[in-house]
Every structure is written in C-alpha cells, then in structure tokens.
A and B are shown apart, each in its own frame.
Chain A
Amino acid sequence: AQTVTQSQPEMSVQEAETVTLSCTYDTSESDYYLFWYKQPPSRQMILVIRQEAYKQQNATENRFSVNFQKAAKSFSLKISDSQLGDAAMYFCAYTSGTASKLTFGTGTRLQVTL
C-alpha cells in the first residue's frame, strides 16, 4: 500500500521568510501525482500545487514551489515570502490510477509570526 509521511508536525516561519515542508512517500507505481493541500482553520481543503511523477520539472505556483526527487521519493513544499495568510495545516497527498483516490500524510501545522 502507498504511504505518505510528513515528519514535521509543526513549523514556524517569520513573515517574508522562506520555509520548506517535507514529505516522503512510498509507492511501486511508475505514474502518479503528488499534491500539497492547505487547510486553514475553516477546514476547507485548498489545492496549493500538484506534480506529475513523469515530469522532471518542479511545479511552481506563485510563491509556492516543490522539490520533487523521484528516486528518493521526496516531495517538499517551499513557501517563499511567507504571509500571515499562509498559516494553516498543510497536507501532502498521493494518487495513482484513474479513481482519484488520495492517500494523505498526517499534516504539518505552519505558524507565521511577525
């Protein structure tokens, strides 16, 4: 079975600084997608960024970028120029196949301080 591991339960970053959240996964599949979701206190699940395993280029979305290391099965999220609104739980997730079933990590709570 696929597993997703987030080893940092909590992280803290100062406003305008950069922070990296870690995620590792285990799979025997060759094609799959990885995602980072943001969950603010409202509990809404917000897609931050996605990466297809076959694409070597790391995905970027404005201040958010990933470092995808397929051989190491690592998928970290970098948030640049952190803002107070970035404070939330961040979940790493994995899916393969056509049924859009997601396997989530346990999450990292990000605090942003002034």
Chain B
Amino acid sequence: NAGVTQTPKFQVLKTGQSMTLQCAQDMNHEYMSWYRQDPGMGLRLIHYSVGAGITDQGEVPNGYNVSRSTTEDFPLRLLSAAPSQTSVYFCASSFTGLGNTIYFGEGSWLTVV
C-alpha cells in the first residue's frame, strides 16, 4: 500500500524560484491537506481540500497556492520562494468525518537560500 506519497523528499531552492511539492494518495480520501513544521512549533495547516475542485486556506496560507483537480493529487506550489518558507512540509489525507484516521506522508525538507 502506497498510502500518502510526497515528492521530492529534499529540495534546495534559491530565493525567488518557484517549485511544486507533489502529494498523491491511493486511498480514495476526500480530504487532503498541507502542513508545515518549523523548529519549536507544531505542524501548522497551510491549505486543505475536502474534495476535487474545492480548496480552502488554513492558518498560514501566504506564499502558497494549491489546486485539486483529481481526488488523488493535491500539489502545493511556491510561486516565489522566500527563506521564511524553509521548513518541513507534510501532506495528509483522510476520509471526511469527525475522528477519521488521518494519514501523513513522510515529509518534504525544503531549504530556501
């Protein structure tokens, strides 16, 4: 079982460059989300989606863009990378409904220099 797959696992960007973090899940989950994890802080929600064609902002959406054209995929785009976006990024998915198990990807380490 693949579960939630994130690519790339490691990436170094220069300030101002753009890139896309890919997230795919094979569990037919309606809900997908992106979190970032910074030192000394828990994971914080960037964007989420409750189904194909539906996205919404989380706690820290600035500088990030998402779209959900299929149930399986939920890419996160950095349009103009900044050093403040250096972080570990996690994609997660679940069935909608209170209390359902939320599955996390293995994380993507992004460094912006």
Contact = CB atoms under 8 A, between A and B. Distances in A.
Interface of A: 4, 31-33, 42-45, 47, 50, 52, 91, 93, 95-107
23 contacts: A31-B98, A32-B98, A33-B99, A43-B88, A43-B106, A44-B106, A45-B92, A45-B104, A52-B99, A93-B42, A98-B50, A98-B96, A98-B98, A100-B31, A100-B33, A100-B96, A101-B33, A101-B45, A102-B35, A104-B44, A105-B42, A106-B41, A107-B41
Interface size class of B (residues with CB under 8 A): 20 to 34
Contacts of A50: 99
A100 B104 contact: no
A72 B37 CA distance: 28
Nearest to B56: A99
Give the interface SS of chain A, mostly helix, strand, loop or mixed.
loop
B101 interface: yes
A107 B42 contact: yes
Contact of B97 (A43, A98, A102, A103): A98
A43 B107 contact: yes
